[in-house]
């Protein structure tokens, strides 16, 4: 979890730099390219990185690890190269539909090669994680993020290469780290043999394909609206939309990652130990903590939205504040999906969730096609919010048939009231953003202590613990 937080923190470092140096058109193109390589990268992985983690121990036990390792490495090389070709075709479609211009072909080439680098890095990382050597993976994952990021900043801000410099820096930095990571795995596991076992490959693909399917659906649901905006509007509008979306994603990512990496493994282990009652109690606690943090994030970001955007993205994006309430609410709702649909996971019904995600993605695209020409960027943001709310409702309905989860409505109401009090204060008292954040959180906490007995008891227990520790 800490590694993922360090990786995501890089976004906060680079975000204010690129939004200021790049033009809105360049930032819009950058957003479209990033979405494209993310979507193609899902398919280019072939799902093999998930399969590598799933079957590593099995083939090690069978003493077929070298055969498994060679099949995974060689297949990923082929899939990664295919991904480079597919992404170039998709970029040509952006040119064909006049979303991008031919002058960006060199940028597209850099971005396409980046797909190959990333799928190889992800596969090697999964071998180390599956071999219970996550510390090595963690070091290289952090190096990959920051080497690419700092070189991208250097090329953009010092050499003024624009959006081309951004992807050139990412490519150089991530390739160098991949070279070091590859040297490590070759040292540990040797050179892969030049063959692919059809039996092993088909088994890996059979396991990984549903995950590809779900990943693709999730990516379209989260990012597909940028293509619609680019088609009906301009790349500058894509940039205006992307800034509050990226900002909301950075803010909520740490919260969501905390639950995925810290709480969910604990939750699954309770079911593995045949403790469903403890598991259900834990889900209730997870939902309480999530709402406790998520609600003030929503109201705080809405109240301070313009100040936050100007501080992090510059004055030229201040006009994007009107879509921030829809976007931040959608991002927080998205984070509720995992704990609220835990019944599907413990019952191994993840295919149901994959189908629901695909349905929500299709609805999102259709809503965007209908709303963007009429409402512009607000239509795109509203479409995404409706789609996330619908996915959550359908997921909860399907999951509740397998496992009943009690949502903490009383606690939710108390957190909501406290967040609204904070919001009203922030709307009327605006000195500077740091003062607003500090006083807003203080007021939220004080209000919650006043109306919630559980919070008062929690604080009392912590104070007693500190007192005993000091003694």
The pLDDT score that the predictor gives to residue 467 is: 52
> Mapping DSSP to helix (H, G, I), strand (E, B) and coil, where does residue 383 land?
helix
Average pLDDT, the chain: 88
Query: Do residues 173 and 152 touch, judged by C-beta distance below 8 A?
Result: yes
First to last CA, the chain: 33
Q: Is residue 167 part of a domain?
A: yes
Q: Which of 221, 250, 272 is the last residue of a domain?
A: 221
The position carrying tokens 């994952």 is: 141
Q: Is residue 213 part of a domain?
A: yes
Q: Is residue 138 part of a domain?
A: yes
Looking at the structure, tell me whether residues 186 and 290 fall in a common domain: no
Looking at the structure, tell me whether residues 173 and 241 fall in a common domain: no
Number of domains in the chain: 2
Residue 417: both structure tokens together: 């009231």
Query: Do residues 316 and 24 touch, judged by C-beta distance below 8 A?
Result: yes
Least Cα distance to 71 among 83, 57, 85, 59 occurs for 59
Residue 78: both structure tokens together: 């082929």
Looking at the structure, tell me whether residues 175 and 249 fall in a common domain: no
In percent, the amount of the chain with pLDDT more than 90 equals 54
122 Cβ neighbours under 8 A, 6+ residues apart: 45, 49
Which domain range does residue 243 map to?
224-417
Looking at the structure, tell me whether residues 196 and 275 fall in a common domain: no
pLDDT surpassing 70 at residue 355: yes
pLDDT in tens, 69-111: 999 999 999 999 999 999 999 999 989 988 888 989 999 999 9
Name the most confidently modeled range: 97-101, 276-280, 369-373. 369-373
**Least confident stretch, 169-173, 185-189, 369-373, 460-464:** 460-464
pLDDT in tens, 402-436: 878 888 899 999 999 999 999 999 988 877 888 89
Give me the mean pLDDT over the 202-219 stretch. 85
Q: Is residue 115 part of a domain?
A: yes
Q: Label residue 406 left, alpha or beta by phi (over 0 means left) and psi (-120 to 50 means alpha).
A: beta
Q: Where are the alpha helices (DSSP H) in 261-341?
A: 264-272, 276-313, 324-340
- How many residues make up the chain in this entry? 471
**What angle (nearest 5°) sits at the alpha carbon of residue 332, between those of residues 341 and 25?**
125
346 Cβ neighbours under 8 A, 6+ residues apart: 268, 271, 276, 279, 402, 403
**Least confident stretch, 25-39, 179-193, 213-227, 445-459:** 445-459
Looking at the structure, tell me whether residues 214 and 170 fall in a common domain: yes
57 alpha carbon, distance to own chain's centre: 28
Q: Which helix (H) or strand (E) holds 392?
A: helix 377-400
Q: Is residue 454 part of a domain?
A: no
Least Cα distance to 8 among 243, 255, 254, 222 occurs for 254
Give me the mean pLDDT over the 6-28 stretch. 88
Q: Which of 417, 440, 460 is the last residue of a domain?
A: 417
Looking at the structure, tell me whether residues 154 and 230 fall in a common domain: no
Looking at the structure, tell me whether residues 160 and 229 fall in a common domain: no
pLDDT in tens, 373-393: 999 999 999 999 999 999 999
Looking at the structure, tell me whether residues 108 and 157 fall in a common domain: yes
Quick count: other Cβ atoms within 10 Å of Cβ 471?
Answer: 5
Residue 351: both structure tokens together: 């295919």
Quick count: other Cβ atoms within 10 Å of Cβ 413?
Answer: 13
Whether this model's pTM surpasses 0.85: yes
Q: Is residue 271 part of a domain?
A: yes
The position carrying tokens 């994007």 is: 320
Looking at the structure, tell me whether residues 205 and 277 fall in a common domain: no
Looking at the structure, tell me whether residues 168 and 240 fall in a common domain: no
Looking at the structure, tell me whether residues 230 and 158 fall in a common domain: no
Looking at the structure, tell me whether residues 186 and 263 fall in a common domain: no
Q: Where are the alpha helices (DSSP H) in 154-197?
A: 162-189
Query: Do residues 248 and 324 touch, judged by C-beta distance below 8 A?
Result: yes
Least Cα distance to 53 among 209, 208, 271, 262 occurs for 208
Q: Which of 372, 400, 417 is the last residue of a domain?
A: 417
Q: Is residue 91 part of a domain?
A: yes
Q: Is residue 230 part of a domain?
A: yes
């Amino acid at each position: 979890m800490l590694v993922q937080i360090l990786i995501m923190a890089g976004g906060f470092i680079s975000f204010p730099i690129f939004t200021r140096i790049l033009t809105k058109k360049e930032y819009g193109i950058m957003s479209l390219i990033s979405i494209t390589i993310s979507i193609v990268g899902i398919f280019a992985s072939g799902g093999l990185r998930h399969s590598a983690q799933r079957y590593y121990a099995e083939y090690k036990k069978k003493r077929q690890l070298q055969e498994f390792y060679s099949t995974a490495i060689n297949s990923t090389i082929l899939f990664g190269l295919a991904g480079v070709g597919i992404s170039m075709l998709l970029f040509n479609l952006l040119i064909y539909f006049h979303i991008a211009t031919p002058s960006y072909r060199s940028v597209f080439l850099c971005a396409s090669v980046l797909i190959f680098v990333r799928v190889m890095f992800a596969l090697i990382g999964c071998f180390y994680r599956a071999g219970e050597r996550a510390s090595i993976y963690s070091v290289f994952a952090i190096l990959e993020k920051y080497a690419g990021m700092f070189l991208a900043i250097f090329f953009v801000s010092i050499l003024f290469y624009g959006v081309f410099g951004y992807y050139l820096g990412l490519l150089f930095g991530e390739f160098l780290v991949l070279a070091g990571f590859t040297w490590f795995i070759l040292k540990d596991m040797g050179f892969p043999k030049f063959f692919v076992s059809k039996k092993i490959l088909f088994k890996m693909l059979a396991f990984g394909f549903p995950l590809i399917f779900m990943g693709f659906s999730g990516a379209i649901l989260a990012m597909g609206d940028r293509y619609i905006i680019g088609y009906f509007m301009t790349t500058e509008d894509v940039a205006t939309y992307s800034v509050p979306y990226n900002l909301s994603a950075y803010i909520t990512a740490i919260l969501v990652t905390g639950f995925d990496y810290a709480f969910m493994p604990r939750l699954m282990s309770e079911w593995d130990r045949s403790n469903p009652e403890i598991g259900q109690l834990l889900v209730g606690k997870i939902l309480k903590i999530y709402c406790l943090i998520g609600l003030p994030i929503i109201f705080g970001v809405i109240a301070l939205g313009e100040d936050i955007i100007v501080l992090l993205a510059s004055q030229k994006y201040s006009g994007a504040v009107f879509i921030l309430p829809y976007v931040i609410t959608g991002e927080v709702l998205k984070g509720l999906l995992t704990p609220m649909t835990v019944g599907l996971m413990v019952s191994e019904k993840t295919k149901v969730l994959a189908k629901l995600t695909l349905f929500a993605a299709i609805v999102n695209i259709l809503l965007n096609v209908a709303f963007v020409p009429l409402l512009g960027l607000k239509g795109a943001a509203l479409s995404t919010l409706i789609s996330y709310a619908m996915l959550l409702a359908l997921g909860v309905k399907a999951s509740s048939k397998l496992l009943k989860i009690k949502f903490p409505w009383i606690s939710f109401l108390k957190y909501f009231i406290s967040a609204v009090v904070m919001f009203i204060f922030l709307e009327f008292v605006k000195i500077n953003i740091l003062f607003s954040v500090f006083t807003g959180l203080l007021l939220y906490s004080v209000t919650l202590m006043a109306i919630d007995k559980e919070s008062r008891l929690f604080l009392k227990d912590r104070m007693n613990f500190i007192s005993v520790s000091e003694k």
